[in-house]
Amino acid sequence: MSKTKLLSGHKVVPLTQEEQKEITDSGVVFPCAMVRLQPDGWLLPDPMAAKYCDTVYNFKFRPDDLIVMSYPKSGTTWMQEILWTMVHNPDLDHPETSKPILDRSPDISFDFIFDTPVAQFLKFEAFRKWFAEVCPDRRTEDGIMLQITELMSGRRIIKSHLPLSLMSPDFLDKAKVVYMVRNPKDVIVSYFNMLKKINVGEFSSAFESFTRSFMQDNLIFGPYWRHVQEAWEQREHPNLRFVFYEDLKADTMTHLQRLNDFTGANLTQSQLDTVARHTSFSSMKGRGEPMKDGLFTNFFRKGTSGGWKSYFTPELEQEMDDWIEKHTTKNGMNFKMY
Ligand code: A3P
């Protein structure tokens, strides 16, 4: 029987038939059973939440680790490439430069979707082969990406879509975190287009119903606001940097300089210029997809702020504005919508 209580203190609560139906009926992703981790409501596939959350909680992060955390579609890949290039490749002479970013910067939240039916849409076989090479004596059931990450040498740039409250209380004392956040309107447009492209579960949602699912906290790794809020509350922590996608886009160099201090990479201005060029949208798009086997095909879609404007009807925009206001009036979080 799988666990019902996690080390993080969350309780694993299966969805009722009605809740599961609401998610399925809205045509949204993940054609599999889900659970909520209460009291926060984290939505994750069953039985992966019970299987891997405690491993993540106990994961041995190292003091020089850099973790990129985010809600999906917030600019995670961009930040992974920035940090990896700053730390490992500021002169663009690293032999692994042209490997997909997810081979160089593993995603520990991937294990939560590996064994779901989603895997068949996402061509995860390449990752299983990689696991067999790197971890010949390990079991896949103990987590493919978690174990690849564990065995990785050198300074690790790790990605995770899991929220802070699923990590151990001293997580931020053990490693450094860059939390990426993006205005929710652009997040949902980016998310919608990605799912349409990869057609997970024969994605059949219309933009409006998909957006409502997002606002109703019915997408994996959500609720969005709680995810963001937990990091926002830690924004003064010396080991966390809270970075808005829109700010990074508008003034990349200022952020690279701050990240240079934060990571201790100690790059010269000329190296920072190189990092900026190498991680620009056009350069990253030109080098290809972030995952083995070209999973995403055109993952680098637009890379702009404010693209949401051509997707929202005035009514839906008003609904989302109310939703954003409700969640930001008290905490002073100021999104730029452009
Ligand atoms: P769009 O779909 O709006 O283009 P994530 O990595 O969290 O999944 O986020 C994906 C989004 O970040 C996509 O947004 C992608 O194009 C954008 N992105 C990736 N690399 C970028 C870069 N170098 N500059 C700006 N945006 C980038």
3-state secondary structure of 164: helix
All residues at 6 or more sequence positions from 45 whose CB lies less than 8 Å from its CB, including other chains:
30, 32, 33, 34, 35, 112, 113, 116, 118, 220
User: What pLDDT is recorded for position 300?
Assistant: 86
Using CA atoms of 42, 48, 53, 54 in order, give the dihedral in degrees to the nearest 10: 150
**Pocket around ligand 1: residues whose beta carbon is below 6 Å from it?**
70, 72-78, 186, 190, 193, 249, 279-281, 284, 300-303, 307
User: Which residues are annotated as catalytic?
Assistant: 161
- Tell me the two tokens of residue 149: 């990450």
- What is the rounded CA–CA span in Å between residue 247 and residue 118? 33
Could you confirm whether domain 53-328 is CATH 1.10.1740.10? Answer: no
Atom of ligand 1 nearest to the CA of 72: 7
Nearest CA residue ID for atom 12, ligand 1: 75
305: nearest Cα among 329, 286, 273, 281: 281
Helix, coil or strand: residue 44: strand
Return the pLDDT at 122: 66
Helix pair 48-58, 144-151: axis angle to 10 deg: 20
State the residue for tokens 């399925």.
Answer: 24
Question: Whose alpha carbon is nearest atom 10 of ligand 1?
Answer: 73
Query: Could you please report the per-residue DSSP string of 277-325?
Result: HHTSHHHHHHH--SSGGGSSSS------SSGGGGT--HHHHHHHHHHHH
Please list the pLDDT of the chain residue by residue as tens digits (338 residues): 677 999 999 999 999 988 888 887 766 666 678 899 999 999 999 999 999 999 999 999 999 999 999 999 999 999 999 999 999 999 999 999 988 899 999 999 999 988 776 666 666 777 888 899 989 999 988 999 999 999 999 999 999 999 999 999 999 999 999 999 999 999 999 999 988 887 776 677 889 999 999 999 999 999 999 999 999 999 999 999 999 999 999 999 999 999 999 999 999 999 999 999 999 999 999 998 787 665 556 788 899 998 899 999 999 999 999 999 999 988 888 888 77
**Residue from 125, 122, 127 nearest 197 by CA:** 122
pLDDT score, position 294: 52
Q: What is the dihedral of CA 282, 284, 290, 296, to 10 degrees?
A: 10
